Amino acid sequence: MFGKILITILISFSCVSPAWARWHLDPREFKSEFHAGALDLKLRGVGVKTLFMMRLFVAAFYVMPQVQVNDVLNDVPKHLEVKFYTYIPSAAFTNYTIDRMKANVSIEEFNGLRNRFKRMGELFPNIVNGDVLTLTYEPGKGTTFVHNGMVRGSIEGADFAKAIFATWIGPKPFDHILKNQVLGLDRVGQVMPSKQ
């Protein structure tokens, strides 16, 4: 319970203005493309979350160039990469994600996800400073969780992918500034020439 409260406090009270974020974020930290199997995705944008002048994490979102902003939660391939600079317990991460999922989908959609929450909890690791966690959705195959380069497993369903990505880029994300950054809608997070 304490872990859930802690992560809520960290995320909710660490809003950062685009001007301030400029000092904490360099889109060149991430590759300009993501390739895996048949996936060929492009970097859409990069965002940062800070607290008391320290970075909590930076995130990058990848999708096919032709996908419009309003369609990113549809049944299309997408990839989210997050680099952490803080500690987040697995249980707190899982519970907070479930709460945000509930805020972004209908009650019918949420109830349809319940039998996959236990699996999600198993796939979310304890996060420590320096960790990298990625979520990759491929239609027909599901959402794959990768922690520090190691595949932890996948969860099936376009409905699950919609819900978990919505916690970052949905109608009610945990942070609207970060959402706009990773979607390339905020100039701080817009893509610049990056490393290959």
Q: What tens digit of pLDDT does each residue of 141-194 get?
A: 999 999 999 999 999 999 999 999 999 999 999 999 999 999 998 765 455 433
- Indicate if the pLDDT at residue 4 is higher than 70: no
Average pLDDT taken over every residue of the chain:
85
Look at residue 19 in the predicted model and tell me its pLDDT: 42
pTM: 0.84
Q: Spell out the residues 6+ positions from residue 79 whose beta carbon is closer than 8 angstroms to its own.
A: 34, 36, 39, 41, 61, 62, 63, 134, 135, 136, 137
Please give the Cα distance from 87 to 52 (Å, whole number). 15
**Best CA proximity match to 16, nearest among 44, 45, 69, 56:** 56
Higher pLDDT, 154 or 3: 154
Residues paired with 88 in a beta bridge: 127
